């Protein structure tokens, strides 16, 4: 981790836009990560370090959110980097952060993942129907800081897919704005869990009904032109199987 953290540090330090805070949440690592971050802190006061035991990726993200002061939130993995040094300055200058929307773009995949191959640009604009089938890459999304109060914390129930759950919750409360450019270089090979994906997929229909305040008795949900058609059919099938 120590080797990749330095790349992450550099990708934020080198941004032309300087009005940022860079929070690291360290799970009591035993390598040289903490010493490296503290070395950079001496020259770069925008870097902040939180260290202590956590319950996984999303617990660490929740702690970072709680300690952040900025107007926007963005989550970089320790081995991910921004696509170029003027990404943030371009987005600010073009006015993408002038309104309270969830702003997202694409990522360039490095290495093979179950959901994308090496060299793929993932994955264009999302409709609600598309988001119900697959997730926006977490490293492509800028969230307004108001999500901390309107949406709250990431669920710790889904150790890998809590960001998919979070994006669906956000979609029920915010407008999503797509920017047609690569935001980050996303390196595969992190934590994965088939059971996590299965459990979230199984529970997704009830989550969607809750987030979007849907009435299960509404026949319009089963209209073929409804964005909830497929997910509501799954909900009804699950109810039938449970009998």
Compute and round to an integer the Cα radius of gyration of the chain: 19
140, 184: one domain: yes
Are 148 and 71 contacting, i.e. CB atoms less than 8 angstroms apart? no
The residue segments making up the domain with residue 225 are: 196-242
The mean pLDDT of 68-81, rounded to a whole number, is: 94
Most confident by average pLDDT, 69-83, 108-122, 170-184, 228-242: 170-184
Residues 191 and 202 in one domain: no
Q: Does the pLDDT at position 203 exceed 70?
A: yes
Same domain, 18 and 126: yes
Mean pLDDT, range 172-197, rounded to an integer: 81
Q: Do 135 and 212 share a domain, yes or no?
A: no
Please check whether residues 161 and 216 belong to one and the same domain. no
pLDDT-derived band of residue 1, with 50, 70 and 90 as boundaries? low
**pLDDT above 90: residue 198:** no
Total domain count, the chain: 2
Task: Looking at the structure, tell me whether residues 218 and 191 fall in a common domain.
Answer: no
Does residue 221 register a pLDDT over 70?
Answer: yes
110 or 28: which leads in pLDDT: 110
- What integer pLDDT is reported at residue 194 of this predicted model? 46
Shared domain for 140 and 48, answered yes or no, is yes
Query: Does 217 share its domain with 135?
Result: no
Domain match, 13 and 36 both: yes
């Amino acid at each position: 981790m120590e080797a990749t953290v330095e790349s992450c540090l550099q990708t934020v330090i080198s941004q032309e836009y300087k009005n940022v805070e860079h929070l690291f949440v360290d799970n009591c690592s035993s390598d040289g990560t903490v010493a490296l971050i503290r070395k950079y802190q001496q020259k770069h006061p925008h870097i902040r370090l939180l260290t202590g035991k956590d319950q996984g990726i999303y617990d660490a993200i929740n702690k970072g959110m709680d300690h952040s002061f900025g107007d926007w939130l963005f989550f970089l993995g320790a081995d991910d980097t921004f696509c170029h040094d003027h990404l943030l300055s371009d987005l600010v200058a073009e006015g993408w952060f002038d309104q309270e929307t969830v702003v997202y773009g694409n990522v360039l995949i490095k290495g093979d993942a179950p959901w994308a191959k090496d060299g793929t640009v993932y994955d264009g604009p999302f409709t609600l129907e598309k988001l119900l089938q697959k997730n926006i890459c977490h490293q492509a999304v800028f969230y307004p800081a108001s999500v901390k109060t309107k949406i709250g914390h990431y669920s710790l129930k889904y150790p890998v897919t809590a960001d998919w759950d979070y994006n669906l919750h956000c979609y029920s409360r915010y407008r999503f704005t797509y920017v047609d450019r690569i935001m980050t270089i996303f390196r595969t090979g992190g934590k994965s869990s088939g059971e996590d994906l299965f459990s979230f997929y199984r529970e997704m229909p009830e989550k969607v009904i809750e987030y979007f305040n849907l009435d299960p008795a509404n026949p319009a949900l089963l209209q073929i032109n409804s964005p909830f058609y497929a997910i509501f059919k799954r909900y009804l099938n699950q109810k039938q199987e449970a009998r």
